[in-house]
Amino acid sequence: MKQMLAGRPAWDVDITNVWFVIGMAVATAGAAFVTVWFWNRPKLQRTRRVCTLLFTQLMVTFTILAAVNAQMYFYSSVSDLLKIADGPPVPDLPIASVKVKNLDPRPDVPFSDDGGRGLPNMVERPPLTDRPPPRRKPHHRADPKHGVLVNTSIRGARTGYKLDTYVYLPAAYFAPDSRARFPVIQLTSGFPGTPDTWLRRMKVHQMLAGLMEEGRMPPTIVVIAAQNPVEGRDSECVDAPGGARAETFLALDVPDVIAANFRTAPAPANWGVMGYSTGGFCAANLTLRHPERYGAAASLSGYFKAITDITTGDLYKGDDALRRANSPLHTIDAPRTAALRMYLFAAKGEGKSVRELREFAAKFRPTDSATIRVESSGGHNFGTWARGLPTAFEWLSHAIATPPTGSAHNPLPARR
């Protein structure tokens, strides 16, 4: 059934439509014509020239931006463009943040040895919140009431990489006498995003604490590791021939180090990966390529065909077989022993992302589970992802907290 936008005003035009871009181009040409026509008029000549030149330059800039937006689907409509908030409000909870020099695959004293209760004794960093941090003594004990954010780096045994990483530990991790093991979600970013993007822009640590305290999400460890070993270059989370080994770092090094240092659930069914944009591609690709590591995934505005562009460089060195091996649209057809569980999210205004999402979901087998949500408005931007994140976290955390069961597709209705 075709999904319609509810209550959309007449002025709220679709700015990804090719006719909108053509209209902008025609208006720009008209502005240039008016500038030439009035250029030599004697009355108020200088003022007229300055004003018409500025207006024409603005129109040229807006037309270029409109053309780029039509290709990339950053904003789908005028109302989407004018929105200031990045989605629903996130609870402004003071999350304790501690600094750990680095995490090794074979730590001398894992944080799991004492139930994690030694962790809050370390020097606390300023809480990542919009409120100014309260004055504290230099060695104030961190309060894990809303969980603890560990600011660290991971040293990979296979790759040798040492990359920045955040680990969010839920409040339940620090319960007295607890030896419970927790499911794990790895987060992957869009490009040029970093782990900090999840915290500063999405406020994901506060979102997680709020979801868990409201009972919408079971206690879960969440890991945000850097995914681009070469600064300024989009790794696509793959192992490039003769280049960066991002896939090995994310799918092998990171889980090994996290499991060695924290009380994590050991089964692959209890590990998941989620990302937005490029990170959504990473989530789908890593899950398909590493069923021994991940039991479920969530892709927000991701794509499902391996790409190369100016940000990736010649990532696959012309190896079409390797490129297909990193395209979920191809690898989903390969023989698999484990059922595939994925949450697939996009906004209707993204166009290409929605079409590719549906093409990918159509390949799921009867034993697989695909939960699909298409937002009725929004584009390829943080506002859309912020609206989709809470439900994605709910779905993925419950998927990896319970044993998988074979089911068919579970499309969710578009939000109004």
pLDDT of residue 122: 43
Query: Residues 66, 161: one domain?
Result: no
Q: Where do the H-state alpha helices sit in 214-319?
A: 246-248, 254-261, 278-289
Torsion of Cα atoms, 265 then 388 then 201 then 76, to 10°? 150
- Number of domains making up the chain: 2
Say if 79 falls within a structural domain: no
Say if 51 falls within a structural domain: yes
Say if 225 falls within a structural domain: yes
Q: Tell me the C-alpha distance between 304 and 324, whole Å.
A: 10
Q: What are the Cα distances from residue 308, in Å, to 182, 284, 305? A: 36, 17, 10
Contact criterion met (CB below 8 Å) for 242 and 124:
no
Query: Residues 189, 60: one domain?
Result: no
Query: Residues 268, 359: one domain?
Result: yes
Query: Residues 255, 347: one domain?
Result: yes
DSSP string, 119-174: GGGSPEEPPSSSSPPPP--TTPPP-GGG-EEEEEEEE-TTT--EEEEEEEE-GGGG
- Tell me the sheet residues that pair with 225: 165
Say if 8 falls within a structural domain: no
Query: Residues 380, 269: one domain?
Result: yes
Q: Tell me the C-alpha distance between 222 and 185, whole Å.
A: 5
Say if 167 falls within a structural domain: yes
Query: Residues 63, 137: one domain?
Result: no
Q: Tell me the C-alpha distance between 369 and 340, whole Å.
A: 6
The phi and psi torsions of 276 (rounded to 5 degrees) equal: -120, 145
Query: Residues 264, 310: one domain?
Result: yes
Say if 26 falls within a structural domain: yes
Taking only Cα atoms into account, the Rg of the chain, rounded to an integer number of angstroms, comes to 24
Query: Residues 328, 268: one domain?
Result: yes
Query: Residues 175, 303: one domain?
Result: yes
Query: Residues 237, 276: one domain?
Result: yes
Chain mean position to CA 17: 26
Say if 269 falls within a structural domain: yes
Say if 80 falls within a structural domain: no
The phi and psi torsions of 168 (rounded to 5 degrees) equal: -95, 120
Of 161, 342, 334, give the one whose Cα is nearest residue 252: 161
Return the structure tokens found at 414.
């578009």
Q: What is the CATH number of the domain that holds 135?
A: 3.40.50.1820
DSSP string, 84-120: -S-SSPPP----EEEE-S-B-SS-SS-GGGGTTTTGG
Q: Tell me the C-alpha distance between 303 and 355, whole Å.
A: 10
Amino acid at site 161: Y
Q: What is the number of alpha carbons within 13 Å of residue 14 lying toward its C-beta?
A: 13
Q: Tell me the C-alpha distance between 371 and 393, whole Å.
A: 13
User: Could you write out the three-class secondary structure of 269-295?
Assistant: HHEEEEEECHHHHHHHHHHHHCCCCCC
Query: Residues 252, 318: one domain?
Result: yes
- Which residues form the domain of 266? 96-401
Chain mean position to CA 237: 13
Query: Residues 63, 162: one domain?
Result: no
Long-range contacts formed by 318-322: CB under 8 A, 24+ apart: 319/241, 322/241
The phi and psi torsions of 244 (rounded to 5 degrees) equal: -65, 145
Contact criterion met (CB below 8 Å) for 117 and 262:
no
Please give the helix or strand (H or E) that residue 24 lies within, else none: helix 18-37
- Tell me the sheet residues that pair with 162: 155
pLDDT in tens, the chain (416 residues): 223 233 344 444 555 556 666 776 787 787 777 777 766 666 656 776 777 778 778 877 777 876 765 555 455 555 555 554 455 677 888 888 898 888 888 766 556 544 444 454 443 444 444 444 334 334 445 578 899 999 999 999 999 999 999 999 999 999 887 889 999 999 999 998 899 999 988 899 999 999 999 999 999 999 999 999 998 899 999 999 999 999 999 999 999 999 999 999 989 999 999 999 999 999 999 999 999 999 999 999 999 999 998 889 999 999 999 999 999 999 999 999 889 999 999 988 887 889 999 999 999 999 999 999 998 877 788 888 988 999 999 999 999 997 554 444 444 444 33
pLDDT of residue 75: 58
Q: pTM of the prediction?
A: 0.76
pLDDT of residue 16: 56
pLDDT of residue 408: 43
